[in-house]
Structure 1
Amino acid sequence: MMQEYQLTLKDKRIVWGTAVDIEPLIGKYPGDSIRQGVNTALDWNLPAGVYRAKEVVMELDKLLESMLVQLGEPVKGDPTVLLDSLQANLAISGRVSSLPLGPLAFEDKAGAELTAQAVRIGEQLVSWAREINAQKRALAQYGPETLGALEFRSHCYGHALIPEAIAQAFGPTGGPRVMQLYNEYLHQFVLLRDALLPFANWEQVPFEVKEHTEFKGLRFLEPVRERFLTQLLGKKLTHKSIVQYAQSVVSSGLTTAGYGFQYRLGTVLPAGLGETAGTAARYLLKWHPVQTIQAAGTQDVTAVSFDYEYDDYYAAPRSEAGTGTPVKKDTLPVTGEHYDQPSIARLLPNAGSDRTTLRFSLELEGREFSVDLGQLFRGHRFLYRPQGIDNADTGVVKRTSISSHQAIDILSHAGLVTNTDGIHFIPTGGNELIVWALLGKLYPENVVLLDKGDKEELEAAFVSGKGFGTQFLVL
C-alpha cells in the first residue's frame, strides 16, 4: 500500500502525494572516482550516480589524501593547513573568500537568507572534510602508491590560499602537480556549497551527477552558478530565479520555473511549508521525499513545474471583505467565534495538459476551503511583521475604521480578499493551518502577521506595511 507523505506542524499535519524512499539510490556508483586516465596517468572524477552533500565530500577527500601522500615529509599526512585554507575559502568574508557576501550586508530578504545559508553550509562542509580526512579511508582503500600517482590538469579559477597553504603547496615537496590537485579540491567544494544555497535542508537534498568528458565532478554546474551569483551579487534575485537555479542543480530537466517543482528524486517547495509562518524562511526551498504528481499509467516520477493559479496576482479576481464586526482599538484583540479547529491540511494537485497547480485545502465547520498553494507562498513572501514606523514603506495614512472578521468568512469569498479602506482584524485561534490559508486568500499588499496581539504589538502593527490602503491584521 502506498503511503501518503506528511509534514508535522506543531500538533497539525499537512499531507499529500506518495512518500518515496531514495536511500537505496544513494552511494550506488558504477565506477570509482579514481580511475585510469589518458596517457596511463591516474585521474579523478565523480562517477555517475545520486549524491547528497556528504557523499561528495567523501569523494573529494581522495584528492586531499593524494596531496598529503605526494607532499610527504615534513607534512606527513597532516591536513591542518590545507583544511584551514578551505575554511577560509568557504567563509563569506576575508581576503581569500570565494563568495564575499558578508561585506555586502544584504538588506533584502532573499540576499539575507542566502548569506546565512552560505555560512551554515560552508561551516558544515569543512567540519565533514576534517572528520572524513581523519579516518584516512582513501589511504586504506588505495594505498600510498596509487594516491601518489594521481595527477591531472585542473583549470584554475583563481582561488586564493592562506599564506601557510601557499608555503606548503609550493614548498620543497610541493609544486604544480600538488597545486593542481588542491585547486580542484577547493573548486569542487565551492561548487558544492553554491549549488546547495537554495535549500533549507541542503544536507538531505539528493541530486544526480552524470559523467561528462569535458567537465570534472560538479563543474557541469558552472554556467548556471555564474548566472545565479550574478543575480545575487547584483541584488536582482527573485524567487523564480532561485527556483530555476535549484532545478538545474538537481538535474530536473525542467526549462520553465514556477514556485516549486517535482523531479525524479522528490518534490521541492518553498521552505515555509510545515513551518510557523511568522519565522519561516521566505525565499529558501525545501526538498521533500514525495511524489506529488504521478503520470497516468506509470509509477515513474516525472519532472513537473508547479505554476501559480494567477501568474500576475494583480489581475486575479477580488472580493470585498465586507464590514465585519466594528470594534475599537482598545478592545483588540478579539477572539472571534469558536469553531472546530482543523488539524490536517491536504495539498491537492490539478495536473492539466499544459500546467500544474496545487491547492492547500482544509475543512472548517464541515465545509472544505482551499487556496492556491503558489498564492499562499506569495502571500508569505509579501507579508509584514509588526515592526513599527521604520517598517512602513511610505508616510502613514490614518485609518479610522476597525472591524473584526471570522477566518471562515474570509475563506468563503471568491478570488483574493481585499477592501477599500480600514483595518481588518482576523483571529485564527493560533491555528497555523488557518494562518497559512489566509495568506493564500488575502490580497498580498498590507497583511501584517501578529504574534501576541498585545497593545504594544498592535500599535507597531498599525503603522507597519504600506502607508496607504486597507490593512489586514492576522493573529
Structure 2
Amino acid sequence: MQEYQLTLKDKRIVWGKAIDIESLIGQYPSDSIRQGANEALDWNLPAGIYRAKEVVLELDKMLEAILVQLGEPVNGDPTLLLDSLQANLAISGRLSSLPLGPLALEDKAGAEITAQAQRIGEQLVSWAREMNSEKKGVVKYGTEALEKLEFRSRCYGHSLTPEAVAQVWGPIGGPRIMQIYNEYLHQFVLLRDALLPFANWEEVPFEVEEHAGFKGLRFLEPAREIFLTQLLGKKLTHKSIVQYAQSVVSSGLIKTGYGFQYRLGTVLPAGLGESARTAARYLLKWHPVQTVAAHEAQDPAAVSFDYEYEDYYAAPRNEAGAGKPGNKETLPVSGEHYDEPSIARLLPNADTDRSILRFSLDMEGREFAVDLGQLFRGHRFLYRPYGKDNADAAAAKRDSLSRHLAADILSHSGLVTNTDGIHFIPTGGNELVVWALLGKLYPENVVLLDKGDKQELEAAYVSGKGFGTQFLVL
C-alpha cells in the first residue's frame, strides 16, 4: 500500500492509501452535445467524474455553437461574450453574480471566501478564453451540427454588458441564442460557487449524475442557495462550509464534522501541510487519499470526521503547571531545537463507531497524539500579535510568566490551560510541534509568534481576549 504524504518544509505528514484519480477523469458514457427534441441538438454534462477544467471544456461547446449561429462577422470572435462572462464572475461591478467586494466581509471565513471567489473567477475566464481559441467543438462536430443546438434555459437574472446584449439580441441573434448564452453564464456561476470551499479547487474531483430536470451543474442549486444565504448573511461557519463541500462532491453524507472522506478522496481543513502562521483557517483542501480503509473490493466509505470533544468548553482540562519562572524582561526567546519529530501520522480510531483522527508524532522517545479536529479548531481560534481582533491593551493584566517544554504540555490528558499568567512554549521552529500544541491547548488565548523579539512580545502580551491565562507559542 502506497501511503499518501504531505511535505511541510523538511517535515512530512503521512497517512492512508493514495488514490489514483487521473484514471477516473474524462470517462463519460455519452457526449455533452446530444440529440434533443425534434431535429434540434441539446447540451448537458454526461455522467462522470470532473474537475473544473473538464467542465469548462464542455461549457465551451455552447459558446462555439452561439458563435456559429451568429454567423459572420461575429463567427470566431468571442471577445464581447467572454467579457460579459468576466463581468458576471467578478466580485464587484453592476453585473457581478456574487458582489462580495462591496460587502467587504471582515470575518475570517467571509474574507477567505471573498478572495477565493476572485481567484476562481479570474482563472475560469482565462480557461474559457484559451479553450475557445482552440475551437475544438467545431473540429469535433462541424458547424452544421452546432447550428442545430437549441434548448430552453430555465434561469433568469444574469445581466449582460451592453455590447453583449447588442450581439446576442442583434439582427442575427434573438431568444434562441439568448437561451444558450444564459445557460453558459449560469453554469459558470454554478461552477465558481461550487468550488469556493476548496483551497486547491483546480484539483478537486466531483461526480456529476444526469438528474431528470437538472441540466449540467444545476443539481447544486439547492445547496448553493443555503450556502450563499449564510455567506451574505455573515453567518458562515466552518461547519456550514464543510456541509456545502459534502454536497458539491456528492458525498451522500448527512452528518457534518470538520472534514470527510468520500469515494474520490479526503477533504480536510486547508491548514494541514501548511505553516500554521499563514494557512487559511476556514477553507478546505482535497487530498487523493483513502483515510479510513474499506473492505476489500469495496469503494472507500463516505465518512464524516468527528471532533473528540464536540463541545470543547465541556472537555476535560488540566493545568500546564508552574513551568520555569521568568519575567518579561528576561524571557529567553531562544528555545530548544527539535530535530525530531520529522514525521507526523494521521491515525484513524478504529475502536469506536465514531470516526476520529489522531495527529501523532514521536518526540524525545515518546509518542504524543492529539485530536485532529481539535488541532484545526485551535488553529481557527488562535491569535496573532498584530491581529485586528486582539484585545485592548488596558484590559490585559497578567503578571506571572513561565516557560514550558512542548513535551510537557503534550504529555497532559485532555486540553491544557492554567488559572492565570503568561505561559511561553518554544518549539524550535518545528511546524509539526506547533500544530500539535494547537490541538492540545485550550483554544482561548493562544498567540502564535513569528520571531519572539521584544517588539513582537510586547504586542503579544496584550493579544487575545484581554483576560485569563495566555499561551505564547514560538
Please give the range of the TM-score, normalised by the shorter of the 2 chains: over 0.9
For residue 273 of structure 2, what is the aligned residue in structure 1?
Answer: 274
Please give the residue correspondences for 1:183-202 in structure 2 after superposition, counting only pairs within 5 Å: 183-202=182-201
Tell me by how many angstroms 1:341 deviates.
Answer: 2.0
**Do the aligned residues in 1 keep the contact of 2:66 with 2:180 (CA within 8 Å)?**
yes
> What is aligned with 2:161?
162
Conserved in 1, the CA contact under 8 Å of 2:246 and 2:252?
yes
Alignment CA distance shift 1:305-1:406 (3 Å) = same
Q: Are the structure 2 counterparts of residues 63 and 338 from structure 1 closer, same or farther at C-alpha, using a change threshold of 3 Å?
A: closer
Cα distance in 1 for partners of 2:358, 2:236 equals 26
Map of 1:76-225 to 2, 5 A cutoff? Answer: 76-225=75-224
Question: Paired residue for 2:366?
Answer: 367
Q: In the alignment, which residue of structure 2 is the partner of 1:292?
A: 291
C-alpha separation in 1, matches of 2:339 and 2:176: 70
Unaligned runs of 5+ in 1: none
User: Aligned partners of 2:387 and 2:194: how far apart in 1?
Assistant: 37
Q: How does 1:240-389 map to 2 (within 5 A)?
A: 240-337=239-336, 340-351=339-350, 354-387=353-386
Residue deviations 1:30-56 (CA, integer Å, cap 9, x gap): 000000012232100000000000000
CA-atom RMSD in angstroms: 1.3
One-letter identity of the residue aligned with 1:82: L
1:12 aligns with 2:23: no
For residue 227 of structure 1, what is the aligned residue in structure 2? 226
User: What does residue 455 of structure 2 align with?
Assistant: 456
1:338 Cα shift? Answer: 5.3
Q: Residue 96 and residue 128 in structure 1: after superposition, are their counterparts in 2 closer, same or farther (change >3 A)?
A: same
CA contact 2:396–2:461 (8 Å) conserved in 1 = no
1:40 match: 39
The 3 A distance-change label for structure 1 pair 25 and 321 is: same
Q: Give, in angstroms, the shift of residue 348 of structure 1.
A: 0.3
Spell out, residue by residue over 1:224-264, the C-alpha distance to the aligned partner (whole angstroms, 9 max, x if none).
Answer: 00000000000000100000000000000001110000000
Question: Is this contact kept in 1: 2:414–2:440, CA < 8 A?
Answer: yes
Task: Point out the more displaced range, 386-395 or 465-474.
Answer: 386-395
TM-score, structure 1 normalization: 0.98
Alpha carbons of 1:166 and 1:337: their partners in 2 closer, same or farther (altered >3 Å)? closer
Report the alpha carbon displacement of residue 104 of structure 1 after superposing the two structures with TM: 0.6
Task: Report the more deviating stretch, 123-132 or 393-402.
Answer: 393-402
The 2-side partners of 1:298 and 1:25 are apart by 17
CA distance in 1, matches of 2:141, 2:407: 66
Q: Distance in 2 between matches of 1:5 and 1:308?
A: 22
Number of the residue aligned with 1:445: 444
Change (3 A) 1:394 1:306: farther
Q: Is the 8 A contact 1:389 1:460 kept in 2?
A: no
Q: Deviations over 1:353-377 (max 9, x none)?
A: 5320000000011100000000000
Distance 2:329 2:300 in 1: 55
What is the TM-score with the length of structure 2 in the denominator? 0.98
Tell me by how many angstroms 1:185 deviates.
0.1
Shift of 1:333: 3.6
Q: For structure 2, list consecutive stretches of 5 or more residues without a partner in the other structure.
A: none
State the distance in 1 between where 2:71 and 2:472 align.
66
Write the letter of the residue equivalent to 1:273. L
Q: Return the letter of the residue paired with 2:25.
A: I
Residue equivalent to 1:465 = 464
In the alignment, is the contact (CA less than 8 A) between 1:117 and 1:200 conserved in 2?
yes
Provide the rounded CA distance (Å) in 2 between the counterparts of 1:76 and 1:302: 48
Deviation digits for residues 37-86 of structure 1 (CA, Å, limit 9, x no counterpart): 12232100000000000000000000000000001123121000000000
Q: How many residues align?
A: 474
Q: What secondary structure, in the 3-state scheme, does the structure 2 residue paired with 1:40 have?
A: coil
User: How far off its partner does 1:213 sit?
Assistant: 1.9
Partner secondary structure for residue 345 of structure 2: strand
Deviation at 1:298, TM superposition (A): 4.3
Q: CA deviation at 1:340?
A: 4.6
The residue type equivalent to 1:156 in the other structure is C
